[in-house]
Structure 1
């Protein structure tokens, strides 16, 4: 039995274009053969450990898809990671996931091979293995319950946790969205999001290829480039985070009237535009509708549960709302006392039951267990309310230690842990500040050691060696001490108020 995803894409003609990238156009047939080569090269690594974890950089090109499919073909677990990951962050992922090997495109080999050698894991270049002829192999039968994907997500415990999805939960996610958003083989979509998150990996790439569509990958987001591509091609679907829509609006307004007319026409030719991964300001929703003619479809989901709530493809979409539960998904709101909320407009934590649910946090059984209620509901940590018509509105997080910035979910505790390693930092508190473009931006209040000589810019420069650029604080203030409650815990709401006064 082939993995469910590979079974789905096997139906598409070998010569149909699956991907268009800076490297060229790649057919379904080419990618299927390339995946077989990857699986063949990894045979020993995969056979030595059932569900072996294979790390892969989220490289926005054909090599990513060939590696992902190849790992699944051989029965492994794909562990994608950010291209911005530092050596320290990647070392943590290798250790925590107990990875057997890493597969990457040749261009990244000089950077990644030494680390793999130092940490004693296997290393392969995609181009090298694809150039070989795969040997006839009897691949193992892959059951729906088998582990398929591990996505690292930040949490209140500080260090990222590996959220594990099975072939069955991934297939459920994709099939739900393909049906709800009416994906077709005739669709063409532009992918500008990172491929180590559910939004880019499942909602766009996964759904598009499952449906037999063409996915055009832009290696790096550039608002002007996106508008140029829109105007020159026949896209039907576009999905992005609010930050991207905000930047596109800015670029549109800076364009000439003739360019604007072409951009608007290109948008109006599309059938669907979706926003997610962060709250969509109503002002941005209205601005986008004005220039594109599209009332953005806003939805709600997260790494662990896939997509759970969505405004309808057809029918009434409500501004400021993420819609209603998707088919097969059950949602309830629970108050601080653990009681289920039945009244409209009363805030509570979103709890979910779904066939799209993740299996576990890798090697963290206690945290996994604590993430579910006694009745099996996953506790999202997000606060929402439901109106009389059944539409949900997201109000925020129940934890001040999670920051949503530009579609990323960042852990304040992880960032604090890094800066506390600086010899001149006595204490620090990291918070998220509201921002129209990014949703939230990272800010840090820091207490320096008495004899410290470093200034805030020096701290940030130092931090870039240990943290990806999007985790580096955008604002820093130096303070004498941090506000704490009777239990000695930093009162972060007070810290946020300091920045409001700046």
Structure 2
């Protein structure tokens, strides 16, 4: 019996999920999941690690779809609700999934393609009412879930994790962040990424806590839920905190103080999936009384590094290795380095098994002695890791220097007229690369003014040489700026 099934039986009639006016117990979760598993199996005794895609709205149907796939012996493949049909086709072709579960809202998008491709489409609200049947015994080393990378530099790759790997990720977080059955967390994140699936839903349900869903993002709706006084854990990406701060700044002083009273009562607030600007961390702390816990992870490794639950949460740093996770910094020859920047490499049971159907890519992602190469460059200061950026997008090689785009962004954000920014390296014959900045302004400001300001704050070789002004930065579903979309904007 897998961990989620054991735990659901143990927590029984305790509330597991809340959505609007509806609440569902752990017993309801497991009963519905077993029925979905029976529908998926049809006349088979075991799906034997066949991928099953699902495009399901957050809430009971989402969790039951995932658990039902697992109970039937399949591999769960969550699909983003915002994906266009072409992106969905890519995932279905890449995984070879022959079954697709969807919410009724997506039936019209998927029906014709699934019929033409011989894919069985199961629609929530139209599923056959089959009786429960005997389910297969699932080994923890089986494949459990395929999540797709963002594909910013190449086609997205399917990241396969086992049941053992997922439970290891959960156990590591439960220990580090002190989850308990008293936790009541709000899910506002997309559920085709590890942040929402593992950190918010899976870890909370692992200990018998409650997960509440918000049908649609709204800063006002989030704060209304905060005011009820039931929530005590909140996890989001920096762009969400940015929007919540913007909302708070429009409220009266009395309203802000009232909301701060409720937020101060939370036991934990976390930021992740993209770098947290120091300015956002400081503003949020002033408005909420909560010092955000920033952590570092990725699809292939789950969470690997975190600021401490108890102890200093250092701004601009992602903390120290989590339980069960080995971390080292390595040079370009994959040799460990100490006292200097290097690529973050990770080892342990939380690391994924393979890129689905891509043996060569899998082999290239690991060193010969089994360390996963993240592609992220960091340095260690007093045991705290500090991310300098990605090898491919955030480390700019200019005039013999290796510059961190993230460091330059932090300084640029301190300009009083800058609302947000992103720094990239542009190819240059003389310098190799030159620093360029895309900027969102609060009020009109010239590039000359920004240049003068930056030269007063850092050496000239780090100062952006080109600027472009935008109304907003291009971002993916998790709030990360898609830097490859920025580079063409500088070409005149």
> TM-score, with normalisation over the residues of structure 2?
0.80
1:9 aligns with 2:8: yes
Local SS of the residue matching 1:243: helix
Which of 157, 160, 165 is matched with 2:156 structurally?
A: 160
Structure 1 residues 174 and 468 mapped into 2: Cα distance closer, same or farther (>3 Å)?
A: closer
For the residues of structure 2 that align with 1:276 and 1:168, how far apart are their CA atoms? 23
What are the superposed Cα offsets for residues 182-224 of structure 1, whole Å, 9 maximum, x if unpaired? 1111110111000000000000011111111111111222112
What are the superposed Cα offsets for residues 371-422 of structure 1, whole Å, 9 maximum, x if unpaired? 00011000000010001x2100011111139999xxxxxxx9xxxxxxxxxx
Partner of 2:67: 69
CA RMSD of aligned residues (A): 2.9
Displacement of 1:432 after TM fit?
10
Partner of 2:258: 262
What are the superposed Cα offsets for residues 441-479 of structure 1, whole Å, 9 maximum, x if unpaired? xxxxxxxxxxxxxxxxxxxxxxxxxx99989989989xx
1:396 aligns with 2:392: no
Partner of 2:314: 318
Which of 287, 295, 303 is matched with 2:291 structurally?
A: 295
1:285 aligns with 2:284: no
Local SS of the residue matching 1:88: helix
Local SS of the residue matching 2:11: coil
Count of aligned positions: 422
1:196 aligns with 2:192: yes
Which of 347, 351, 354 is matched with 1:357 structurally?
A: 351
What are the superposed Cα offsets for residues 287-337 of structure 1, whole Å, 9 maximum, x if unpaired? 111111111111000000000001111112211111000112111111224
Counterparts of 1:325-364 in structure 2, within 5 Å, are: 325-343=321-339, 346-364=340-358
- Comparing 157-166 with 65-74, greater Cα deviation is found at 157-166
For the residues of structure 1 that align with 2:234 and 2:479, how far apart are their CA atoms? 23
For the residues of structure 1 that align with 2:369 and 2:482, how far apart are their CA atoms? 39
Displacement of 1:110 after TM fit?
2.5
Partner of 2:211: 215
What are the superposed Cα offsets for residues 332-372 of structure 1, whole Å, 9 maximum, x if unpaired? 111224331111xx211100002101000000000000000
1:50 aligns with 2:43: no
| Alpha carbons 1:4, 1:144 under 8 Å: kept | no
Displacement of 1:157 after TM fit?
5.7
Q: Which runs of 5+ in 1 are unaligned?
A: 405-411, 413-430, 438-466, 478-491
1:305 aligns with 2:278: no
For the residues of structure 2 that align with 1:202 and 1:434, how far apart are their CA atoms? 33
Structure 1 residues 199 and 470 mapped into 2: Cα distance closer, same or farther (>3 Å)?
A: closer
1:135 aligns with 2:132: yes
| Alpha carbons 1:85, 1:468 under 8 Å: kept | no
1:102 aligns with 2:95: no
- Comparing 241-250 with 395-404, greater Cα deviation is found at 395-404
RCO (CA 8 Å, sep 6+): is it higher in 1 or 2? Answer: 1
| Alpha carbons 2:273, 2:480 under 8 Å: kept | no
What are the superposed Cα offsets for residues 60-107 of structure 1, whole Å, 9 maximum, x if unpaired? 121101101101111100000101111111111111000020012223
Local SS of the residue matching 1:244: helix
Local SS of the residue matching 2:125: helix
Counterparts of 1:458-477 in structure 2, within 5 Å, are: none
For the residues of structure 1 that align with 2:42 and 2:171, how far apart are their CA atoms? 32
For the residues of structure 1 that align with 2:282 and 2:28, how far apart are their CA atoms? 42
Which of 363, 366, 373 is matched with 1:379 structurally?
A: 373
Structure 1 residues 475 and 256 mapped into 2: Cα distance closer, same or farther (>3 Å)?
A: farther
| Alpha carbons 2:325, 2:349 under 8 Å: kept | yes
Which of 258, 263, 268 is matched with 1:272 structurally?
A: 268
| Alpha carbons 1:58, 1:194 under 8 Å: kept | no
Local SS of the residue matching 1:89: helix
Partner of 1:409: none
What are the superposed Cα offsets for residues 146-205 of structure 1, whole Å, 9 maximum, x if unpaired? 000000113466211100010000000011111111111111011100000000000001
Displacement of 1:49 after TM fit?
4.8
Displacement of 1:16 after TM fit?
1.6
| Alpha carbons 2:346, 2:374 under 8 Å: kept | yes
Local SS of the residue matching 2:182: coil
| Alpha carbons 2:45, 2:136 under 8 Å: kept | no
Counterparts of 1:106-121 in structure 2, within 5 Å, are: 106-121=104-119
For the residues of structure 2 that align with 1:434 and 1:224, how far apart are their CA atoms? 29
- Comparing 154-163 with 232-241, greater Cα deviation is found at 154-163
What are the superposed Cα offsets for residues 225-272 of structure 1, whole Å, 9 maximum, x if unpaired? 111211123211000111111111110110122221221011011000
Structure 1 residues 133 and 41 mapped into 2: Cα distance closer, same or farther (>3 Å)?
A: closer
Counterparts of 1:458-497 in structure 2, within 5 Å, are: none
Displacement of 1:4 after TM fit?
2.4
Local SS of the residue matching 1:332: strand
For the residues of structure 2 that align with 1:116 and 1:23, how far apart are their CA atoms? 34
